[in-house]
Structure 1
Amino acid sequence: MQILFLIWVILGASTASGTPEGCRGLTGEDLKLCEDASDVGTTIGVGLIVAFWVAADFILALTYVIYRLASRQPRA
């Protein structure tokens, strides 16, 4: 699961390379503003992926702890 999230983060971050399709044909300040907005969007997207990753790890850890507590031997 960790590898899948890592691949997802890498793929999400790699979308920021180059000039976005919507920015083609722009020049000067307009191009800079469009590229900056694209970079902010990529940052937010990667941040959401990391948040999902943390949430999934927390849920898996909590499930594991509950399983371990339920399957332990009772004290005599």
Structure 2
Amino acid sequence: MQLLFLAWVIVGATGASGTPEECRGLTGDDLDLCNDANDVGTTIGVGLVIGLWVAADFILALTYVIYRLASRQPRS
């Protein structure tokens, strides 16, 4: 699970490197604005993936704790 999320973050972050196709042909301030917008979108996307990663880890940890509490031996 961890490797899947790590790969997803790496692919998402590196996939947006360079000049996007939508920015080709632009110059000057328009090119800078387009590149900056692409960078902001990438940051938001990676942030959402990391948030999902944290939520999945929390749910898995909570499930594990509940399982351990339910399967422990009662005190004598």
Question: Scaled by the length of structure 1, what TM-score is found?
Answer: 0.98
The total of aligned residue pairs comes to 76
1:61 aligned partner: 61
Letter in 2 for 1:32: D
Q: Deviations over 1:18-50 (max 9, x none)?
A: 100100000000000000000000000000000
1:16 CA drift (Å)? 1.9
The Cα RMSD (Å) is 0.4
Unaligned runs of 5+ in 2: none
Q: Which moved more, 1:13-22 or 1:44-53?
A: 13-22
Letter in 1 for 2:53: W
1 CA distance for matches of 2:34 and 2:54? 30
2:16 aligned partner: 16
Question: Scaled by the length of structure 2, what TM-score is found?
Answer: 0.98
1:15 CA drift (Å)? 1.7
2 CA distance for matches of 1:74 and 1:67? 14
1:75 CA drift (Å)? 0.7
Unaligned runs of 5+ in 1: none
Moved over 3 A (4+): none
Percent identical pairs in the alignment equals 80
